[in-house]
Amino acid sequence: QTLKIGLIPADGIGHEVIPAARVAIEALGSDIPKPEFHDLLAGFELFKRTGEALPEDTVETLKECDCALFGAVSSPSTKVTGYSSPIVALRKKLDLYANIRPVLSVAPSPDQQPDVDLIVVRENTECLYVKQEELTNGTNGKEARATRLITERASRRIGQMAFELALARPRKHLTIIHKSNVLSITDGLFRETVRAVPSLDSVGGRYNDVTIAEQLVDSAVYRLFREPQIYDVMVAPNLYGDILSDAAAALVGSLGLVPSVNAGDNFVMGEPVHGSAPDIAGKGIANPIASMRSAALMLRHLGYTKGADRIDKAVDEVVREGKTLTPDLGGTSKTQEVIDEVVKRI
């Protein structure tokens, strides 16, 4: 039996951190089925070379894989004709409707909040990220519009995923993030649909032990900085979830620590929360931990708990010890030194 894993470093530090995830998985030996890696192309650099950001071959190979790891893409901030972000496209093509981002404080340090242990569950397929934008000329000069799509189906399945995750955690507490005081139709639908999940016939009372709270997104950011310990699982529409999870990453020291998975019913793709970090790309100092933890999270999602635990434990030890850290965590170590240190412990 093998575990087929697609590897898509894409751009920038993706090329430095995805190999870290690979060696961490290889170090697990017989705790997982024998891994079979497939190196796949995507990204903005690829687009500039070939005119294609996400080759059909990459998508087709992924469909044959059990899971995948994605690095990061360097999406330009201005419109580039013919280019569209491959990660956004992949989430849609593989129907990876949930982005799950656990944020955990490990080492107590001055710029870290202690005892943070939360998961942001972000809807991954709609909201403003349907990217239906339009520019017209009106009486006020140029007018730009964007469609924000919230559906009952997507809200229900992300809600179910969030309840499922909450149920598996000690505190079993779910906070629904929205702004339905202003956007009563779109965010209202999200809020109501998630709230109604426990009463679905198909669920049959399964989530009765989960306590539910809700919070407007702006005050949620405030409370996230003031008292992040109140949160356990947070579920949010796409854009709010994107912003909240980067903000939550700041609580625990660095974006270079925070993993995620994009999950659907049939496929899971690990992805560090950070981007391609052009400011440090190529210098060999990117923190590989977010990527290694994304591998662990991916394995955990597939049920390989023991392998996932071994990676997480090794990473936690290295961070807690504080001797081998990259510059984003105040250290002077290189990416490779951190990788070696973690792999040694696995």
Which residues of the chain form contacts with ligand NAI (CB under 6 A)?
13, 17, 72-75, 87, 255-256, 274-280, 286-287, 290, 326, 328
Residue from 16, 58, 24 nearest 39 by CA: 58
Q: Is 57 known to be catalytic?
A: no
Q: Is 246 known to be catalytic?
A: yes
290's CB contacts (< 8 A; 6+ apart) are 17, 255, 256, 257, 258, 259, 272, 273, 274
Give min distance, CB of 78 to ligand NAI, in A: 11
Residue number of the CB atom closest to ligand NAI: 275
Nearer to Mg ion, 242 or 341 (CB): 242
Give min distance, CB of 23 to ligand NAI, in A: 16
Nearer to ligand NAI, 97 or 304 (CB): 97
Tokens 């955690």, residue located:
169
User: DSSP state, 66?
Assistant: S
Q: Is 83 known to be catalytic?
A: no
Size of the residue set binding Mg ion (CB under 5 A): 1
Q: Is 172 known to be catalytic?
A: no
Give min distance, CB of 75 to ligand NAI, in A: 4
| The one-letter amino acid at 212 | I
Residue 8 phi/psi, 5° resolution? Answer: -125, 85
Nearer to ligand NAI, 126 or 242 (CB): 242
Neighbours of 221 (CB within 10 A): 17
Residue from 90, 98, 110 nearest 40 by CA: 90
Residue from 274, 317, 315, 277 nearest 293 by CA: 315
Q: According to the binding rule CB under 5 A, does residue 242 interact with Mg ion? A: yes
Candidates 218, 222, 306, 323; catalytic one: 218
Active site residues: 129, 179, 218, 242, 246
Q: Binding residues for Mg ion, per CB under 5 A?
A: 242
